[in-house]
Amino acid sequence: MVSTGMFIGGRIIIGIGGCLSQTAASPLVAECSYPPHRPILTGLLLVSWNFGSFVAALVTWGPYNGSLRTNDWAWRLPSLIQMFFPTCQVVLAFFGPESPRWLVDKGREDEALTTLAKYHADGDIHSPLVEFEMAQIKAAIDIDKLNKTSSWMNWFSSKQMFHRFFICCAVPAMWQLSGNALVSYYLTLILDSIGLTSSVEQLKINLGLTVWTLFCGVVYATFVDEVPRRHVMFTGFSLSCLTFTIWTVLSALNEERDYKDKGLAAGVVTMIYLFNTFNTINVPIGVTYVMEVAPYAMRAKASTIYQFSGNITGLFNNYVNPIGLENISWRYYIVWPVWILVHIVVVYFFFPETYKMSLEEVDKVFVSKEEWQEKTNKENQIMQEVETAKKDVSAEHVE
């Protein structure tokens, strides 16, 4: 006998599994990606949420408008389909690579070299790129081990580490608290508030918005490495703030005219689409930026912090947003343009630029000149050892 409690329990289990896989996926994608492709692939990682939203909207739309509308399968079928993608993930995980940085950290350098060569140099273990990457990785990990920088308390060990910790917490919180959750979870309440109460019309708008957001996300992720990170954030937040402000004004006028002006209702829907268009600009660089600012030894922990911060702010959205919408209607929207302005200030003062830097090179933005010089010397030493070993091998062949 299926009960509401069983359904909620299943959702909790799905949530736990989703958080675990997301926590592991972010550093794995960042550390395995070919350097020029890393921002694009990590960007697509977060954009894939929009693909999931599209599938969810589609499989919900079908049963609701078909013969299953009054049947339990109207909710069972979408729930069952949720098994498909996790099953694919479990199967494909056995065929994916392990992080070369993790392999080096565990003393499995030959496997790390093979992995880097396979995915970054068509299998050539003597590629200059592979040798340089190995030198960078080994230098970074050796210094991390020397300084014992892998504990949770290391986030608070210095000003530069706390700065990184702040960014890891702030990015997902800012992304969640920019008004997008209103559209993602409470679009029905928003449409009700402007007089669009037909469930069929609401489903059509939701499906169209989901497809449009997915398209925008993929386009932005494709070009994410063409524009500096800070410029992307400034653009996304500024345009989101502008459209949300217009959305708020139109909603106020619509209520004032007793929802009889269809043009105002259409204007609100247009602003919702435009808001999602501009808000999605920031989506691809969220995971990318956090993975860049976190040092190797703390990258998995940074991914955990990212998920935790995002889920905590998600709880706020889930419980506060419906109360605000129900009690003060469009007036609740005023909160979000103000919050977005705060985000712009935070980005300006606290988010350094990491554009066109490797994962190891980002350290230069945070550490002192002495620490950076130490790391550079270590890399040069490892590169010299590689060159010496190559010369020795060549000499043996000559003899």
Residue pLDDT, tens place only, 34-78: 888 888 888 888 788 778 877 877 777 766 666 666 677 777 787
Q: For residue 94, which phi and psi values (nearest 5 degrees)?
A: -70, -20
Domain annotation covers residue 303: yes
Domain annotation covers residue 345: yes
**pLDDT (0 to 100) of residue 396:** 46
Residues 181 and 281 in one domain: yes
Share of the chain above pLDDT 90, in %: 24
Domain span at residue 252?
A: 11-59+154-356
Query: CA 54, CA 45: separation in Å to the nearest integer?
Result: 15
Residues 176 and 274 in one domain: yes
Domain annotation covers residue 55: yes
Span 227-263, pLDDT tens digits: 899 999 999 999 999 999 999 999 888 888 887 888 8
| Residue 18: other Cβ atoms inside 10 A | 14
**pLDDT (0 to 100) of residue 80:** 82
Domain annotation covers residue 84: no
Paired tokens of 15: 């949530």
Share of the chain above pLDDT 70, in %: 91
Residues 203 and 337 in one domain: yes
Which of 104, 179, 115 shows the shortest CA–CA distance to 145?
A: 104
Instruction: List CB contacts of 235: < 8 A, sequence separation 6 or more.
Output: 278, 281
DSSP category for residue 158: S
Span 327-339, average pLDDT: 89
Asked whether the predicted pLDDT for residue 211 surpasses 90, the reply is: no
Paired tokens of 159: 């000003």
Which of 378, 387, 388 shows the shortest CA–CA distance to 136?
A: 378
Instruction: List CB contacts of 245: < 8 A, sequence separation 6 or more.
Output: 337
Span 178-187, average pLDDT: 80
**pLDDT (0 to 100) of residue 54:** 77
Residues 283 and 159 in one domain: yes
> Is the model more confident about 200 or about 152?
152
Query: CA 93, CA 98: separation in Å to the nearest integer?
Result: 10
- Find the CATH number of the domain harbouring 180: 1.20.1250.20
Residues 139 and 250 in one domain: no
> Is the model more confident about 220 or about 72?
220
Residues 43 and 135 in one domain: no
Domain annotation covers residue 344: yes
291: Cα separation from own chain's centroid: 10
Region for residue 195 given its phi and psi (left: phi exceeds 0; alpha: psi -120 to 50; beta: otherwise): left
**pLDDT (0 to 100) of residue 363:** 82
Asked whether the predicted pLDDT for residue 346 surpasses 90, the reply is: yes
Span 332-358, average pLDDT: 93
**pLDDT (0 to 100) of residue 115:** 92
Span 146-164, average pLDDT: 83
Asked whether the predicted pLDDT for residue 397 surpasses 50, the reply is: no
Contact indicator for 189, 322 with CB cutoff of 8 Å: yes
**pLDDT (0 to 100) of residue 150:** 67
DSSP category for residue 226: G
Most confident range (mean pLDDT) of 61-70, 75-84, 171-180, 262-271 is: 171-180
Domain annotation covers residue 206: yes
**pLDDT (0 to 100) of residue 391:** 57
Asked whether the predicted pLDDT for residue 165 surpasses 70, the reply is: yes
Q: For residue 227, which phi and psi values (nearest 5 degrees)?
A: -130, 140
Asked whether the predicted pLDDT for residue 393 surpasses 70, the reply is: no
CA dihedral (327, 332, 333, 336) positive or negative: negative
Residues 128 and 277 in one domain: no
pTM: 0.78
Span 165-194, average pLDDT: 85
Angle in degrees, 0-180, between the axes of helices 199-222 and 180-193, rounded to the nearest 10:
150
Domain annotation covers residue 91: no
Q: For residue 372, which phi and psi values (nearest 5 degrees)?
A: -65, -40
- Tracing tokens 């599209």 back to the chain, one arrives at 54
Residues 339 and 377 in one domain: no
Domain annotation covers residue 74: no
Residues 206 and 342 in one domain: yes
CA dihedral (199, 205, 209, 211) positive or negative: positive
Q: If you compute the radius of gyration of the chain from its CA atoms, what whole number of angstroms results?
A: 24
Span 110-134, average pLDDT: 90
> Is the model more confident about 367 or about 211?
211
Alpha helix (H) residue ranges in the chain: 4-32, 38-65, 73-81, 84-93, 100-105, 109-120, 128-147, 159-176, 180-193, 199-222, 229-256, 262-279, 285-293, 296-328, 335-350, 363-366, 369-398
**pLDDT (0 to 100) of residue 74:** 75
Residues 319 and 375 in one domain: no
> Is the model more confident about 14 or about 294?
294
| Residue 62: other Cβ atoms inside 10 A | 13
Residues 143 and 191 in one domain: no
Give, in order, the Cα–Cα distances in Å from 34 to each of 10, 24, 117.
37, 18, 10
> Is the model more confident about 66 or about 124?
124
Span 275-332, pLDDT tens digits: 999 999 998 888 889 989 998 788 889 989 998 999 899 888 888 888 888 888 888 8
**pLDDT interval class at 398 (50, 70, 90):** very low
Asked whether the predicted pLDDT for residue 205 surpasses 90, the reply is: no
Residues 28 and 103 in one domain: no
Please state the domain count of the chain: 2
